[in-house]
A = this chain, B = another copy of it.
Amino acid sequence: MKKDRAATESKIYESFLSLLEEKGPQAVGINAIAKKAGVSKELIYRYFGGLQGLLLQLAKKGDFFKTLLTLQNNDLETVESVKDFAKSGTKELRENKLTQEILRWQLLENNDATRDLFKFSNQQIDKVFSISDKDSSLNHALQLMIGGYVYLTLLSKFNKTFITTDLSSQDSWDNFDKALEKTIDLFNK
C-alpha cells in the first residue's frame, strides 16, 4: 500500500468540492466525503480538522468569484462599463456552480463551521459589488436586481419556471440582462 499524504489530502479536498458542487450543501458530510474520496474518515479529522477545517480551507483558497474579481479592475465610471460589468457578472454567476452552492448554503444556516467561509465569500461579494453611486435609489435597485439574479439562478436548479419566465431558456436570461441594462440606462438619464 502506497502512502502519500499530499495526494490523500488532495483527494479529500477535491471530493468535498465536487460533492458540494454537484449535490449541494445538504449532501456535504464527513461520511459522504470520505466515501467519495475512498479514504477513511479519520483522515479528514486528522488532516483538516473535520468539516469545519475543510470549509476554512475553501475560504482561504477562495477559488470562486475569480472572474468577477478580475473585472473589479475595470473603472465603473461610464454607464457602458457598469453595463458590461453587470453582464459579465451575471454570466459568471450562472456558470460558477460552486459559488452558487455557497450562496445557497447561506440561506440555510450560519454556524461556527460555516462562519469563516461565509465571511470570506461575502467579503468577495462586497469587493465586487460595492458600487457607490450618488443615487442611492440606483444602488438599491441594483442590489435588488443582483439579489434577484442570485435567487433565480439558485431556483433554476429545481424549478423550470418563475412566474411566467422559463428559467431553462437562454433567452430568458438574455432578457433579464436587457432589463438590467435598461434599468441602468433609465437611472442615468
Instruction: Place the interface of chain A in its size category.
Output: 35 or more
Q: Which residues of B contact A179 (CB under 8 A)?
A: 137-141, 144
Q: Is the CB of A24 within 8 A of B108?
A: yes
Q: Which residues of B contact A165 (CB under 8 A)?
A: 140, 143
Q: Is the CB of A141 within 8 A of B106?
A: no
A107's partner among B138, B141, B158, B161 (CB-CB below 8 A) is B158
Q: Determine the distance from Cα of A136 to Cα of B108 in the docked complex, in whole angstroms.
A: 33
Q: Which residues of B contact A24 (CB under 8 A)?
A: 108
A43-97, CB < 8 A from B: none
1/0 contact string of A27-57 vs chain B (CB within 8 Å)? 0000000000000000000000000000000
Q: Determine the distance from Cα of A109 to Cα of B108 in the docked complex, in whole angstroms.
A: 13
